[in-house]
Amino acid sequence: MKRIASLAVLLGLTFAAGAVLAHDDAYLDTRKAPNGGQLRQAGPYHYELVLAKDATAAQENPVVVYVTDHAGAKIPTAGASGTATILAGKLKAAATLKPEGGNMLKGFAKYASSPDTKVVVSVTLAGKQAEQARFTPLAVAKDGHTDHAH
């Protein structure tokens, strides 16, 4: 009986530790992204989305996604594929993301830089299931700063 109770406690602690290690959007918004983008959790990965921040008119601009694990280790994107759907005001654009070396996927879409921009990124790494994340990459932080946390 003691063994069963001990096993139950051990399993409970294991699952609780996994929940503690999960990173929600609020937590990730306090982290400085390595490439100046916005971080989001996507299953067992972190995606960092980098968009053009100075495009005043809707024009062809790069869409870049970096893939890491929860510890920040780079995940190779060779053989991966992805899409980014960008919504800004009444405009909708899509980018096909292709491996660009290392842990990066890159594509292009016609968009303007706007604080109301929302992006849904879906990436399928080689041999893995698709993972998805939602971004608000150009939104101004509540304190008016977007480049750092206080």
Domain boundaries, the chain: 24-135
State yes or no: pLDDT of 10 exceeds 50: no
- The per-residue pLDDT for 9 is 47
Work out the mean pLDDT of the chain and round it to a whole number.
84
108: nearest Cα among 32, 46, 29, 51: 51
pTM of the model: 0.79
State yes or no: pLDDT of 38 exceeds 90: yes
- The per-residue pLDDT for 94 is 97
64: nearest Cα among 88, 89, 91, 33: 33
Residue with tokens 């890491």: 68
State yes or no: pLDDT of 79 exceeds 50: yes
> In CATH, what is the architecture of 24-135?
Sandwich (2.60)
**Cα separation, 2 vs 138, whole angstroms:** 54
Average pLDDT over residues 33-43: 95
